[in-house]
Structure 1
Amino acid sequence: MIKQILHKSFSAFLALLVVFSTVSFTVEKHYCGDVLIDASVFSEVEKCGMEAIEKLQKKSCCKDELDFVKGQDELKFSSFEDLNFEQQQFTLAFAKTYLNGFESLPKQIIPHKDYSPPNLVADIQVLDQVFLI
């Protein structure tokens, strides 16, 4: 039981690791002076409201910063032909013995499967008072 739980949790962890290592996203930040006003990953950042004043002035105190987190682009896809001869031999032998280990047993024929015993009207041994000792 504990082995199955560990196996499933480890498999889920590895699947999530592959998914999150290949995902790319952008972190958007808005600074007003040196103060961070808002940071966002999936939506647009909220501005500080200084845009109207910035239009009147030439100098801008606000700045937007984009941090792009790039995921892994190249995944290694290897084929059976990339293995050397000994590795191919071992892989084929392992697969053959593993798959043959799960062959089902021959179906057992039960000749009296549909036979129903006769109905007992009375227990003869009790009626005749004959018992095995």
Structure 2
Amino acid sequence: MALVVLFSTFSFTVEQHYCCDNLVDFSFFGQVESCGMEIRQTQNSHNDNFDSNDCCDDITFSKNGQHDLKLTFEKLSFEQQHFVASFVYSYLNLFEGLQENVVPFSCYSSLLFVKDIHILDQIFLI
């Protein structure tokens, strides 16, 4: 249940930098690094008079999470509170251990093997 809430409220952004239709850099958490083509175009100031096409593209993909969650326990209905209380109680008692180790076959003695039957009958598991 916690994973469903986490993934439904999770927001992220992916940035990609393409140079001449080749992926140069991508980033999940920060800014992408440039390939340096923008710096070369500004250094050549005599080419600024011409309309030059920029070969670099920056693509940004953003996914916004859900932000309208019920954060208080008081706004739940009585049936929902009853369900949450029974769920928590049953989940906590799920991992409760026994007071002592119960061995149901402790009163029985083990069999006494006089001969090894597999070797006597020449039956071998392969």
For the aligned pair, the TM-score class normalised by the smaller chain equals: 0.3 to 0.5
TM normalised by structure 1 equals 0.45
- In our comparison, the structure showing a higher alpha carbon Rg is 1
Structure with the larger RCO, 1 or 2 (CA within 8 Å, 6+ apart): 2
Which structure has greater helix proportion? 1
